[in-house]
Amino acid sequence: MAEKPALWITRKLSDLTEARAARDYDVQLNPEDRVFTPDEIVAKSHEVDAILPCHSEHFNADVVARMSDRVKIIANHSVGVDHCDLQALKAKGVVVTNTPDVLSDATAEIALLLMLAAARRAGEGDRLVRAGNWDSWSPAFMVGTQMTGKRLGIVGMGRVGRAFAKLVQGFGMEIHYYNRRPLPPEQEAGAIYHAAIEDLLPHCQFVSLHCPATPETLNLMNAERFALLPEGAILVNTARGTLIDEAALIDALSSGRLAGAGLDVFQLEPGGNPQLAKLDNVCMLPHIGSATRETRDAMGFRALDNLDAFFAGEKPGDQLV
């Protein structure tokens, strides 16, 4: 029988994923779920034919240059690949895959949760009750913003953006969107296209970010663009922290330009931004958009499907380079 390919799974994945990987590969797992340093990643690359990493492992140009030629494929357990220098990996002849589709619904759910939480001041209310400081009630108490019937802007109408648009249908919102290209009418489902973010933002009483982190989207939401939003808008980000200039966001939240924000992702992860944590009108989560049992299994299986195809001599379904 042919030897199984040697695979390193960098983080603790779902039980079903690890069991399938152990069945089909000569696998190295990480039961302690510790984060490996760049030097350790380079050292591991000498021991395996394939790596199945998460967005917590960075394959930047330096790491890629030092990696062993033994590694033939990086099968990411993530849809985002901003932790990978794709050009450097391509130049080295390493195949890179990701896990699109399978996390769209879970991420859209977290976007909805954060949008409601920011609009209805859920984080603030929870902190108040939890701290034992809820000592009065009045019609003027903790009044928030209603989502129903408002205008929503979606920046990035890829799979997650479209899943989010579908999810909010019950709120009767008028949906506007920015995308590099307009969607075909059947995917657009009545949403209104804007060819520039500057044209979109003045319509957005609510805005949700769903585009990838690239050099072009770095600080996509900055002071100039916050100024284009209607007074009292609500911002949600479940995509990547680098899409927002956090200093400008803090100014917009402090001045009331934004009534609130819901954030699952930050410029600095893990940890987030302690200055944002001082503001009551921001609801924050620790990058858990795809963290459901169902989605973790689906992500793991999708990454393994890509590996299986590669080692069967086929092109993986989610090959990026």
**What is the set of active-site residues?**
240, 269, 287
Query: Binder to ligand DGY among 20, 55, 159, 176 (CB under 6 A)?
Result: 55
Site for ligand DGY in 57-86 (CB under 6 A): 78-80
**Nearer of residues 17 and 290 to ligand DGY, judged by Cβ:** 290
**Nearer of residues 55 and 225 to ligand DGY, judged by Cβ:** 55
Write down the least CB distance from residue 54 to ligand DGY, Å: 6
Write down the least CB distance from residue 318 to ligand DGY, Å: 12
Please report how many Cα atoms fall inside a 13 Å half-sphere around the Cα of residue 30, on the Cβ side.
18
Write down the least CB distance from residue 119 to ligand DGY, Å: 23
Write down the least CB distance from residue 107 to ligand DGY, Å: 7
Count the residues of the shown chain that bind ligand DGY, applying the rule CB under 6 A.
8
Site for ligand DGY contains 103 (CB under 6 A): yes
Site for ligand DGY contains 290 (CB under 6 A): yes
**Nearer of residues 5 and 300 to ligand DGY, judged by Cβ:** 300
**Nearer of residues 54 and 113 to ligand DGY, judged by Cβ:** 54
- Which residue has the CB atom at the shortest distance from ligand DGY? 80
The backbone torsions φ and ψ at residue 169, rounded to the nearest 5 degrees and listed phi first, read -55, -35
Q: What is the end-to-end Cα distance of the chain in Å, rounded?
A: 30
Strand order in the sheet with 50-52: 26-28, 6-9, 50-52, 73-75, 95-97
Write down the least CB distance from residue 108 to ligand DGY, Å: 13
**Nearer of residues 159 and 203 to ligand DGY, judged by Cβ:** 159
Q: Which residues bind ligand DGY (CB under 6 A)?
A: 54-55, 78-80, 103, 289-290
